[in-house]
Amino acid sequence: MRTGPVLAMALAAIAGAVWAGSWAPPGSPGDGDYTRASNRDSIVNTRHNLTFSYIGSGIQWMMTGYKNFYGEVCVYCHTPHGASSRQTAPLWNRTLNDPGAYTVYTSQTLISTDNPGPGPNSLLCLSCHDGTIAIDSIINMPGPGGYSAAQEATVNDAFLSTWDNGPSYIQAGFIFCGNTPCFHAELGSEGNPGEEPEKCKECHYGGNAFGLPDFTAFVIGTSLGNDHPVGVRYPDPGVYDFAPGMVAQGGLRFFDKDGDGRADPDEIRLYDNGSGPRVECASCHDPHGVDGGGGALIPSFLRVPSDGSQICLTCHTK
């Protein structure tokens, strides 16, 4: 059921009351970039908390037409039981695409290395950020009876709609979908700044009139050729201009900048799944957030600040 005109009028009517002065527009300095989350202390206070509990009830009711609200922060990615058999990440609970679904980076100007596609520690991130998988598409929903092994590889809207989302004003007043979302929305399409019906970007598009953050920059897509390579082997520092001195720990290689012998959240790392250490999304990003000092998390979930190219110069000796 389409909702655009009615939903748009509802959003416009309350935009000033709910968002004006609360959302920092894209590009503004400070903790508020793209989000109302404080980005402090815990994932609970970041935009990766998909329950949006950090903003109370002021906006949650508007989102129930587009995704399941499971009432738990961690369950959108992890489950204590019934985890994915296709993924080595701890207790993984989200639907994943196969590595072959992605077009990887190639270039005649950089070192030629084999690239079998994104590894596990990139596929996890892409399960939201490629824009093709519903944000609420999980394998094991909270409580009894909400498990489907088929969800490991395929989004089943009928299964997801068995979740009781609870009554909400937007459903009762505008969408009329009862206690289940009308849509199980994906983020949207890469590079499209415009409105996309039935996706997150139905509202979170560039220049929207509601004062909502634009999600365009968060959509990586399935063509990874315009992004930093993932799945690529780290070049030999003895031959090329890359930093040496990584510490090996199981399947990890990391720059142990504090010398404590363990891979801390603020240390760049490589992942070795048996074919040599490779760069993945999680090499530079920690989805749970990294303390950059005083409880403030480093923006964009980076492990190392981008100021002064610190994150680039960790690996690239220039």
Whole-number percent of the chain with pLDDT over 90: 50
Between CA 278 and CA 205 the distance in angstroms is 34
- pLDDT of residue 35 exceeding 80, the answer is no
User: DSSP letter at 214?
Assistant: P
pLDDT interval class at 109 (50, 70, 90): low
Lowest mean pLDDT: which of 3-17, 71-85, 146-160?
Answer: 3-17
The pLDDT tens digits of the residues spanning 229-240 come to 898 888 888 888
Average pLDDT along the chain: 82
The pLDDT tens digits of the residues spanning 198-218 come to 899 988 888 888 777 888 889
Instruction: Kindly state the average pLDDT of the residues 79-87.
Output: 94
* pTM: predicted TM-score of the whole model, two decimal places: 0.85
Select, from the ranges 3-12, 76-85, 235-244, the one with the highest average predicted confidence (pLDDT): 76-85
- Tokens 């019934």 belong to 82
Confidence (pLDDT) at 57 = 59
Q: Count other C-beta atoms under 10 Å from residue 197's C-beta.
A: 11
pLDDT interval class at 81 (50, 70, 90): very high
Residues 6+ away with beta carbon under 8 Å from 115: 104, 105, 106, 229, 231, 232, 233
Confidence (pLDDT) at 88 = 82
Instruction: Kindly state the average pLDDT of the residues 176-182.
Output: 75
Confidence (pLDDT) at 207 = 84
Which comes out higher in pLDDT, residue 20 or 293? 293
